[in-house]
Structure 1
Amino acid sequence: MHIAYFPELALLFADIRFPQDQSPNNASIHLTWRPPHGEAKELDVPLLPDTTSLERIEVTMHSSPTSAYKMGETHNKWLSTCLGYDTVLAYLGENERPVLMSTHQKSNQPQIQQGGGWLSSITSKLPTSLGTIISGDTEPDDKITFADCAPFLVVNEASLHDVSRRLPESEEMDISKFRPNIIVSGAESCWEEDYWSELQTSSGVKLHLVQNCVRCVSLNIDYATGKPGEGESGKVLKKLQSDRRVDKGSKYSPVFGRYAFLGKGDEGKSLAVGDEVTITKRNAERTTFDWPGISSTPLPTAS
């Protein structure tokens, strides 16, 4: 389920709660349903559920299939009651989805090697440990979880300010609507991230930025009501379409942010808010989004 098609998902909030010993085996995902009218509802879901008795199901996201586990009746019924229609909560477990877009730079894509000092720093929205997200280099057979197209989405805080500039003075764009897990502050200009190819943190972690993130109507959702927004905040997608349709692979969709993968050998390393970041490589040209079915690249046809 994607919020662009089911905007009421904006009323569902989740946070991970660890026990005192920080053991993930006893941790839980705390779900809170916050409707605009009526009382909130809460539910705890095991972070690492026992899958022995769970039914296996098949899940396909953006034409990328995987196996998963159907959580128990308690969880499914709770979600169905909140949303108002039958819903299944699926646990990915040890399974993975294939990445269908290019994760290597094309051989004809010129790159500029960067040197010198620190450019900027990480501000927020970071996972605790990169090693729990993905293991290794950006190979053609990369795998991902239930993340959209890549394990990391890197955005430039200066670009967020440019989006807010398009709204009335009393309004600011909510960064969570762009769903980043890495926000870089201190960049010299907005939208320069379009050309970022590789980042390196002060702790030595490398991130390969391989594709643009093209945007949809999810930007217009009002998180307070779970419905399409009213007023200027409900027109953010249209405002960005005026000058941010810069990816030839999705010419009608504006770009905000870059999909990224962890560098080889960086499994288990950590990032933290405030880490300094260097842009170590830049592309001379913008990359072209090519995930089949959600870009101009067609899905393969059966022979």
Structure 2
Amino acid sequence: MPTLSSLSIYPLKSCAELPLTHATVEPLGLQHDRRWMAVRPDGSCMTGRELPGFVHLRAVPVPEGLHLSAPGMSELVVAVPPADAPRLEVIVWSDTCSAAWAGEEADRWLSAYLREPARLVYVDARMLRPVDPKYAAPDDRVGFADGYPLLLISEASLTDLNTRLPQPVRMNRFRPNLVVSGCEPFAEDRWKRLRIGEVELMLVKPCARCVFINVDASTARPDPAQQPLRTLATYRNHGNKVLFGQNVIARHGGVLRVGDPVEVLEEA
């Protein structure tokens, strides 16, 4: 039986991976995952696609809110915005929604690190961002992830890719929440419904990849040979999209733990 081999969150969109041993699954995905986001003055999201330095920005949830640290910067704790905090209209790709503003101190810190004007926003109870209705139920919601609450990839799929690359890459290039071991390469493409521990999950859509996967988390620099995206495109291209991993929505929440068995309830 396949096994859940790792769990990770990215509390601030595009920030460094934060590995966990266990995590609570909420309607928006793993607790604390992508609940914060940097935006430009016009409200558009800022990501590691165009600002690779994001991958060296470490964001850790703390009781007060979010602890931020990055090379060359003093550390900062940002409080969760209060219920009456000012709101900003923000844009996450094709979605526009209203988010809570985290304040001037956080804006100054982010702007200094990213070297361009930035504002920090938060997913509060008032923010409603639906998941694409073509793949989700009407009441499914997502935070600041690209489009879906969770992302799952198998270790075997990465191993298959690494046999084709000039230099192997680590799983953190692909920023999954859930990594599964003990299955064949791309077995996740065939899965439709899973039970992991007490959590039931629906795999709703393959994940289309972008140039962000070319950014090396150790150097915060894009690969000059455009790897691994270039190699993936030679055998994982479908409809002009390069697919790797599966987008996931939780149908029954609960706690996930590394080492949990992965039961395939239904195949596509």
Tell whether the structures are fold-level matches, with TM greater than 0.5: yes
Match of 2:188 in 1: 193
Match of 1:81 in 2: 112
Identify the match of residue 235 of structure 1 among 227, 230, 234: 227
CA distance in 2, matches of 1:101, 1:242: 30
CA contact (8 A) 1:58 1:66 kept: yes
Equivalenced residues, count = 222
CA distance in 1, matches of 2:73, 2:87: 31
1:163-196 per-position Cα deviation (integer Å, ceiling 9, x unaligned): 222234xx43121121111111101x10121121
CA contact (8 A) 2:154 2:188 kept: yes
Q: Output the amino acid matched with 1:159.
A: S
CA contact (8 A) 2:128 2:141 kept: yes
Normalising by structure 2, we get a TM-score of 0.77
Secondary structure of 2:227 counterpart: helix
Identify the match of residue 101 of structure 2 among 70, 93, 109: 70
CA contact (8 A) 2:130 2:138 kept: no
CA contact (8 A) 1:102 1:210 kept: no
Match of 1:15 in 2: 60
The answer as to 2:1 corresponding to 1:3 is no
Question: What percent of counterpart residues are identical?
Answer: 34
CA distance in 2, matches of 1:82, 1:27: 22
Identify the match of residue 277 of structure 1 among 256, 262, 265: 262
Q: Output the amino acid matched with 1:280.
A: L
Match of 1:50 in 2: 82
Tell me by how many angstroms 1:224 deviates.
3.5
CA distance in 2, matches of 1:261, 1:172: 29
Identify the match of residue 145 of structure 1 among 119, 143, 146: 143
The answer as to 2:171 corresponding to 1:175 is yes
Normalising by structure 1, we get a TM-score of 0.69
Unpaired runs of 5+ residues, structure 2, are: 1-45
Q: Output the amino acid matched with 2:171.
A: I
Q: Which runs of 4+ in 1 moved over 6 A?
A: none
Q: Output the amino acid matched with 1:161.
A: T
Q: Provide the aligned C-alpha RMSD in A.
A: 1.8
Tell me by how many angstroms 1:90 deviates.
0.7
Tell me by how many angstroms 1:242 deviates.
0.3
Match of 1:218 in 2: 212
CA distance in 2, matches of 1:166, 1:185: 20
CA distance in 1, matches of 2:234, 2:133: 26
Q: When you count strand as a share of all residues, which structure comes out higher?
A: 2
Match of 1:102 in 2: 134
CA distance in 2, matches of 1:218, 1:200: 30
Q: Output the amino acid matched with 1:270.
A: V
Secondary structure of 1:270 counterpart: strand
Q: Output the amino acid matched with 1:184.
A: V
Tell me by how many angstroms 1:208 deviates.
0.5
CA contact (8 A) 2:198 2:256 kept: no
The structure number with the bigger radius of gyration is 1
CA contact (8 A) 2:198 2:255 kept: no
Distance 1:27 1:172, change over 3 A: farther
CA distance in 1, matches of 2:147, 2:188: 18
CA distance in 1, matches of 2:247, 2:174: 12
Secondary structure of 1:67 counterpart: strand
Tell me by how many angstroms 1:215 deviates.
0.4
1:76-111 per-position Cα deviation (integer Å, ceiling 9, x unaligned): 0011011111000011211121212522xxxxxxxx
CA distance in 1, matches of 2:133, 2:69: 34
CA distance in 1, matches of 2:124, 2:245: 28
CA contact (8 A) 1:102 1:140 kept: no
CA distance in 1, matches of 2:199, 2:144: 23
